[in-house]
Amino acid sequence: MDVPEQGPPRQPYLSALTSRFGRRLLALFIGCALVPTVLLALVSYASVSRQLEIQGRERLREAAEGVGMTVLERLIGAQADLADLAARGMLPSRLPAPDVVRFDRKVNGIVFVPRTGEERALLGRIPDASDIVDAVAGEVAPGQTLLYARRSVNDLPQTFLVSPASQGGRSGALVVALDVGYLWGGLRSTALGPDMELLVVDDSARVLYGPDGLQLPPALTARLGDGSGELAWSAEQTTWLAGYRSLHMRGRFVTPPWTIVLREPRSSVLAPIAQLRRTFPLILLACIVGVVLLSLLQIRRGLQPLQALQEGTRRIARRDFEGRVAVRSRDEFAELASSFNSMAGTLAQQFRALGTAADVDRAVLSAIDALTIVDTILGRAPDVYPCDLVGVTLLVDGAAAHSFVQDGTRPGGRRIEYVALTPEAAAALRAETERIVSLDDAPPSHLGTLAELGARHALVIPLVFQDDLIGFVAFATRHDAPADTEARTHARRLAAQAAVGLANARMVEQVRSLAFFDGVTGLPNRLFYRELLARALARARREGGRVGICFVDLDHFGRINDTLGHEVGDQLLREVAARLARCCRESDGITRMTSDEPRPDVARWGGDEFTIVLPDLNGAHDAIRIVQRILDAFAQPFQLAGIDVFVAASVGVALAPEDGEDAETLLRHADVAMYYAKEQGRNSFSLFSPAMNSAAVERLALEQDLRRAVQGSELVLHFQPIVEAGTARIVAAEALVRWQHPQRGLLPPLDFIGIAEESGLVLPIGEWILRSACRQLREWRDEGLAMHLSVNVSGRQLRDPTLTDTIIRVLGETGIEPEWLTLELTESLLMEQQEQTVTLLQRWRDMGLGLSVDDFGTGYSSLSYLKHFPFDTLKIDRTFLHDVASGGADAAITRAVLALGHALDLKIVGEGVETTEQLAFLREHGCDLIQGFLMSRPLTADEMTRRLRDGRPLTPSAVRLAG
């Protein structure tokens, strides 16, 4: 089966974010990518920063050392010059030109300060040279040089060298003011960075050189004069890194040690990494974007199959098993999808099988016929087992079976065949639970139909219930692939369910008689007959030719059933069936029976009705020939229960296409013709003619009129007096209904009671009669006219479960004592449903109602039989009175009835007494009551009232009076 593959529609990237799983995965990806990146960046940053700082300090220290060396060298150079000058012994009053050049730019002034006397400037000027000498004079010994540094009034650094010297015998000190540029200049351009600052501090933390107003940090002051090193401190919102170097000059100069400090803001030191800090967020951002995009791509790729699977799962939850999940990723997802699809397929199959099982269950529980179950199996089998054809074969008896075959590949492709099943095949079927049979060559006869339809293999499963082989199911395919074991299990389950259903008690009966065949006669039943007829009509339409439809009805079959029993009735039906079939077979090739395959044209329609299809007729004469043969066959008596019984038949014939083209019309017309034949008298046939149809239409019209009559007031009651045989006094009357038809005049009951019975109208009519009769009786009773009334009850009324209630209600309404009312039932009614009828009558009797057997002698019952029923009156049918006077058999029967009736304590009514001879005979033999035209015809209510008021006994002359 081709199943649509359903992958999810392609979705935008951001769709991944709608899935919780997608979001989680994205967060995870980003986390995995960013955390190490950021950590690495931080660690690198910290380590590089530290490294830079360490290097920066180192550099500062080294630079401080370098600067210290340079400064020391310059001091030493200046000292050398000074020593040279002092060593001359006699200082010139003014420096000679070469010395001027030599000191140029090194010193700003050279002044000789004698211990006493006037100071003298050899070069430039030193305004407070004496003060300087005074301040330091004690500290300098001859041959020593004192280094003196201070900050000027305007806070400029000033450095002086002081050395003992003499001039003109005057000893004193030579003071040299070193040039700031000479001592400190040029340092920046060589060793110092642009942001470095140079500080020179003496050991008492005086800043000899450096920015104004500088506050030294304690960390630095603690280390002054302490060799070299580096340190860091924070001040004025700046973190400074610094390197320092102490200059120990005691050997050369008289001075406290100086410390050279080079400091630089930390930010300058870390400037190279600051660039990285600026660009790092951008790198991080780019990294995030990259990770997000790649993650989304990957998540979407992962989510698509996941969503497809999810959608697939939802579909399954909705019980839609048809769609398939399409994943083409060639990874585990694809494997999962393929497993999922095969699971959905299995589920679909299982659900279908479950559905089928449920349907079969339903069919089994609700079906009242095997055909419904067969229908279900044929229709649903392909759902449980992949197959092209399904055959259900039901056994009739050991050797014959009916095969129903459904071709699943063609709409409406169903065939019903009658197949042979050999005992060996039946035994083999019974012995196995299932079997795959190859149909390629020499298929077994019971699978012939499947082979004919092109099946190559069939899975055959017997339908067995409690060791009883009911039939078998065949699932056939036109290819050779055998279905998997799962499907076979389903097929077996289906077969088991079907077997249980079919074996249901009633089903088995139907299966045996085979739904299409009548159990009593073995003939096709109504259902099969329709099939046969449809086929014959279709062929006639295709190939031309006529089809005859015969309706055969046995006359008075009911009586045989009633008198001789159902067994004998069935035997008669079988005999009739056999004769009919023979008649058809002997019909000179008019019918199409073949010797090997029984293709019956005769069918049992139901009850005592048989139908025959006569295909391929040339004309009406062909049909008449067969029908005549049928009637001839009935001329011979039937041997039933050891006696010869003559049974007559009435046959109606309709021909296609003249009398109708469809089965329904033809059957109706044949039925009409049959009724017509019945009316013509026993053992006759009629061909349908449209006039008959109009008779049937007329009957229909009458039924409609009757319906109206029940509602209107067209029905009337007449009353026929019943007199005491001895006194001829009226003791009772029988209510007899008439119909005052607006067009047809007054109709006797025989013209419409039959229609009323068939249409069910007899129920409302019966109630009306009972009520009207009781009302009339009430009037008479009220007037003091003591009498009883009889009312007739029809068969249909007797079967009405509400009848007793109706009677009780009417009696209550009209205030009639049950004893005054007698219900008349014809003898033939008692034969049907005897048990129930006895119970019902007993109940009426207990209520006090009178019960009368009407028309006794016409219904084949016997007196001894009557003793089971609680009757109190018996009415001898008038047919027995015809010849009583002449003393023949009728007289003997009537005498016997009177004697036996009295022995059973029954009152006897002589009915239909027309002659004084009949009256005399009845009186002579002790008949109790007389009813008949001799005494009175049925009277209208008014006439009856007058007669009752009159009070005189009726005389036979009344018959003459009545005419």
Alpha helices by DSSP H, 199-243: 218-221
The three-state secondary structure class of 462 is strand
- The CA distance from 534 to 543, in Å, is 14
855 binds Mg ion (CB under 5 A): yes
Query: CA 317, 318, 324, 330 torsion: positive or negative?
Result: negative
- Give 260 or 793: the residue with its C-beta nearer to ligand C2E: 793
- Give 504 or 931: the residue with its C-beta nearer to ligand C2E: 931
Q: Which does 794 bind (CB under 5 to 8 A by kind): Mg ion, ligand C2E, none?
A: ligand C2E
- Give 584 or 736: the residue with its C-beta nearer to ligand C2E: 736
- Give 333 or 921: the residue with its C-beta nearer to ligand C2E: 921
Sequence-distant (6+) residues with CB within 8 A of 650 are: 552, 553, 555, 674, 675, 677, 678, 680, 682, 683, 684, 685
Q: Which does 647 bind (CB under 5 to 8 A by kind): Mg ion, ligand C2E, none?
A: none
- Give 693 or 792: the residue with its C-beta nearer to Mg ion: 792
- Give 659 or 824: the residue with its C-beta nearer to Mg ion: 824
Sequence-distant (6+) residues with CB within 8 A of 834 are: 868
952's enclosing H/E stretch is none
* Nearest-approach distance from CB 931 to ligand C2E, in angstroms: 6
* Nearest-approach distance from CB 805 to Mg ion, in angstroms: 23
Question: Residue written as tokens 């995870």?
Answer: 28
Give the strand order in the sheet containing 435-438: 413-420, 400-407, 389-395, 468-477, 457-465, 435-438
Alpha helices by DSSP H, 815-926: 834-847, 863-866, 889-903, 916-924
622 binds Mg ion (CB under 5 A): no
* Nearest-approach distance from CB 789 to Mg ion, in angstroms: 12
* Nearest-approach distance from CB 789 to ligand C2E, in angstroms: 11
- Give 300 or 875: the residue with its C-beta nearer to ligand C2E: 875
List 854, 859, 919, 947, residue binding Mg ion (CB under 5 A): 854
Size of the site for Mg ion (CB under 5 A): 5
* Nearest-approach distance from CB 887 to ligand C2E, in angstroms: 20
- Give 622 or 824: the residue with its C-beta nearer to Mg ion: 824
* Nearest-approach distance from CB 929 to Mg ion, in angstroms: 13
Give the strand order in the sheet containing 170-178: 120-124, 107-114, 170-178, 157-167, 145-151, 253-254
Q: Which does 65 bind (CB under 5 to 8 A by kind): Mg ion, ligand C2E, none?
A: none
* Nearest-approach distance from CB 573 to Mg ion, in angstroms: 30
Overall size of the chain counted in residues: 963
Q: Which does 769 bind (CB under 5 to 8 A by kind): ligand C2E, Mg ion, none?
A: ligand C2E
* Nearest-approach distance from CB 875 to ligand C2E, in angstroms: 7
Which neighbouring-strand residues pair with 229? 244
Interstrand relation of 788-793 and 821-826 (parallel, antiparallel or unpaired): parallel
* Nearest-approach distance from CB 840 to ligand C2E, in angstroms: 16
- Give 609 or 872: the residue with its C-beta nearer to Mg ion: 872
- Give 672 or 793: the residue with its C-beta nearer to Mg ion: 793
**Region near Mg ion per CB under 5 A, out of 265-273, 434-442, 501-509, 907-915:** 907-915
- Concatenating the DSSP letter of every residue in 483-534 gives PPHHHHHHHHHHHHHHHHHHHSHHHHHHHHHTTTB-TTT-SB-HHHHHHHHH
Pick out residues in 425-444 that bind Mg ion (CB under 5 A).
none
Q: Which does 735 bind (CB under 5 to 8 A by kind): Mg ion, ligand C2E, none?
A: ligand C2E
349 binds Mg ion (CB under 5 A): no
**Region near Mg ion per CB under 5 A, out of 225-233, 408-416, 817-825, 836-844:** 817-825
Question: What tokens were used for 694?
Answer: 């109009």
**Region near Mg ion per CB under 5 A, out of 226-234, 252-260, 785-793, 932-940:** 785-793
Cβ-based burial of 486 (10 A; exposed 0-12, middle 13-18, buried ≥19): middle
Q: Which does 736 bind (CB under 5 to 8 A by kind): Mg ion, ligand C2E, none?
A: ligand C2E
Q: Give yes or no for a contact between 911 and 892, defined as CB atoms under 8 angstroms apart.
A: no
792 binds Mg ion (CB under 5 A): yes
827 binds Mg ion (CB under 5 A): no
Calculated CA dihedral for residues 31, 32, 33, 37, nearest 10 degrees: 90
508: Cα separation from own chain's centroid: 33
Query: CA 364, 367, 368, 371 torsion: positive or negative?
Result: negative
- Give 614 or 876: the residue with its C-beta nearer to Mg ion: 876
Using CB under 6 A, list all residues that contact ligand C2E: 720, 735-737, 748-750, 753, 769, 792, 794, 824, 854-855, 878, 912-914, 931-933, 938
Q: Nearest to residue 1, comparing CAs of 487, 355, 405?
A: 487
Q: Which does 660 bind (CB under 5 to 8 A by kind): Mg ion, ligand C2E, none?
A: none
* Nearest-approach distance from CB 858 to ligand C2E, in angstroms: 10
Q: Which amino acid is located at 121 in the chain?
A: A
The residues of the shown chain that bind Mg ion, judged by CB under 5 A, are 792, 824, 854-855, 911
